[in-house]
């Protein structure tokens, strides 16, 4: 079923951005955008909304009124607060008032996607899951335990404990070689917490290709020897 | 383009292409052109009448729009005005209004130019 998402923000440009972001990953979603608290409260009473994306500050009333109404619904509706204020006091208040999560302005589309998906499914989805999509999260660098399942001079199949979107760039250490790779495909579901990830190897990143070839051959011979 | 972080504009242009949403960026800029002069005027009036609530609201809304459209320094100054009204005791940062007004005029000029250029491309 397509989710119904209510976006409440008094700034037209912010509604425009949040709606476009939502449509980019949930094209089937029904999205209602409203600019004031009063009609938002009315909308809650009339239609079934699965998620509210809510600004805190409005001219006349506070977004807190919508938040309170959303939490009084049965079942309560998850609320993602959008705020430009990252002071500890405001964030503590948001959670004390019942907000499920918050996102800071200016809103990053990938973090927004991970938060909306998490709230709609009730399952936490790390922003890391969106690495690689539209350039990923920039130059974020982290180390993960990789298992090399198969490798040729051009392609490597890895076992990774993360879902990584096609297009993500990885650096992997194989023996003395540091290889730059690009994810081609990730298995849709993990098996025992491990995703199969197929990457192509950027040949430019191999400074000594004959040595790399010999290294690969040596590894294969070692494996054969172990098996026999 | 003075006062604009052009990487932000590039991000919106790329988004428009990737999501196949022609006109997205133009619409975003047009909305800013339509809403922000009124908010700026409200901020000036609120500052003169020392209406803390209105200063907070106008600065808050303006800051979000400016930052989303790459006017980072202008957005930062507006955030300062916004946060100062919540201090204890609250402070009206009238000293920031001069630089804010200058930066806002530049911001509007840049947005206008880009709007004209995008509209021209669209028509062509």
Give me the interface pTM, i.e. the ipTM. Answer: 0.91
| Banded model confidence at residue A74, pLDDT cuts 50, 70, 90 | confident
Q: Are B68 and B4 in contact (CB under 8 A)?
A: no
Task: Output the pLDDT for position A93.
Answer: 87
A140: left (phi over 0), alpha (psi -120 to 50) or beta: beta
Task: Output the pLDDT for position B34.
Answer: 94
| Banded model confidence at residue A84, pLDDT cuts 50, 70, 90 | confident
Contact check, Cβ <8 Å, A134/B34: no
- Contacts of residue B69 in chain A, CB cutoff 8 Å? 13
Contacts of the segment A16-19: beta carbons below 8 A, 24+ positions apart: A16/B24, A16/B27, A16/B28, A16/B31, A17/A107, A17/B28, A17/B68, A18/A53, A18/A82, A18/A107, A18/A112
Chain B touched by A11 (CB under 8 Å)? yes
Q: What SS3 state is found at B119?
A: helix
Query: At residue A86, does pLDDT exceed 80?
Result: no
Q: What SS3 state is found at A4?
A: strand
State the residue for tokens 């939490």: A71
Mean pLDDT value of segment A110-124: 85
Chain A touched by B49 (CB under 8 Å)? no
Q: Enter the pTM of the model.
A: 0.72
Q: Are A54 and A63 in contact (CB under 8 A)?
A: yes
Mean pLDDT value of segment B61-66: 95
Mean pLDDT value of segment A104-124: 87
Query: At residue B53, does pLDDT exceed 60?
Result: yes
Mean pLDDT value of segment B12-30: 92
Residue, of B25 and B2, whose pLDDT is higher: B25
**What's the CA gap between A66 and A38, in Å, rounded?**
8
**What's the CA gap between B26 and B13, in Å, rounded?**
9
Chain B touched by A92 (CB under 8 Å)? no
Contact check, Cβ <8 Å, A20/B24: yes
Mean pLDDT value of segment B57-65: 95
Query: At residue A44, does pLDDT exceed 50?
Result: yes
**What's the CA gap between A161 and A176, in Å, rounded?**
23
Contact check, Cβ <8 Å, A109/B60: no
Mean pLDDT value of segment B68-72: 95
Query: At residue A190, does pLDDT exceed 80?
Result: no
Strand-pair partners of A4: A30
Contact check, Cβ <8 Å, A16/B31: yes
Contact check, Cβ <8 Å, B60/A84: yes
> Cα-Cα-Cα-Cα dihedral of A214, A220, A221, A227, to 10°?
170
Q: Structure tokens of A110?
A: 């990938």
Residues above pLDDT 90, as percent of chain A: 33
**What's the CA gap between B8 and A107, in Å, rounded?**
12
Q: Which residue blocks in chain A are alpha helix, DSSP H?
A: 12-25, 37-46, 63-72, 88-96, 109-121, 209-227
**What's the CA gap between A168 and A166, in Å, rounded?**
6
- Contacts of residue A23 in chain B, CB cutoff 8 Å? 19, 21
CA A71 to chain centre: 25
**What's the CA gap between A217 and A40, in Å, rounded?**
65
């Amino acid at each position: 079923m397509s989710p119904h998402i209510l976006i409440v923000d008094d700034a037209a440009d912010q509604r425009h951005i949040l709606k476009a972001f939502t449509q980019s990953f949930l094209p089937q979603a029904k999205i209602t955008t409203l600019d004031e608290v009063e009609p938002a409260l009315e909308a809650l009473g009339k239609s079934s909304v699965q998620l509210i994306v809510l600004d805190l500050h409005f001219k006349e009333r506070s977004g807190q009124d919508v938040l309170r109404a959303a939490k009084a619904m049965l079942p309560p509706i998850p609320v993602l607060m959008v705020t430009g204020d990252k002071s500890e006091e405001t964030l503590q208040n948001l959670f004390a008032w019942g907000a499920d999560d918050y996102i800071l302005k200016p809103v990053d589309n990938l973090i927004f996607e991970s938060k909306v998906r998490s709230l709609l499914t009730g399952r936490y989805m790390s922003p890391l899951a969106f690495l690689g999509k539209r350039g990923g999260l920039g130059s974020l660098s982290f180390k993960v335990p990789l298992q090399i399942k198969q490798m040729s001079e051009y392609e490597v199949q890895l076992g990774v404990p993360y879902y990584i979107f096609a297009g993500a760039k990885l650096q992997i250490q194989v023996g003395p070689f540091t290889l730059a790779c690009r994810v081609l495909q990730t298995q849709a579901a993990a098996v025992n917490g491990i995703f199969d990830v197929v990457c192509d190897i950027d040949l430019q990143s191999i400074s000594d290709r004959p040595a790399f070839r010999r290294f690969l051959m040596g590894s294969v011979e070692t494996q054969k020897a172990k098996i026999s | 383009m003075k006062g604009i972080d052009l990487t932000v504009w590039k991000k919106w242009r790329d988004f428009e292409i990737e999501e196949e949403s022609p006109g997205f960026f133009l619409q975003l800029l047009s909305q800013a052109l339509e809403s922000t002069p009124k908010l700026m005027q409200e901020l000036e009036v609120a500052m003169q009448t020392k209406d803390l609530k209105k200063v907070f609201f106008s600065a808050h809304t303006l800051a979000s729009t400016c930052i989303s459209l790459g006017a980072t320094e202008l957005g930062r100054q507006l955030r300062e005005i916004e946060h100062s009204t919540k201090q204890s005791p609250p402070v009206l940062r009238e000293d920031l209004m001069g630089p804010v007004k200058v930066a806002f005029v530049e911001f509007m000029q840049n947005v206008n130019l880009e709007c004209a250029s995008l509209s021209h491309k669209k028509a062509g």
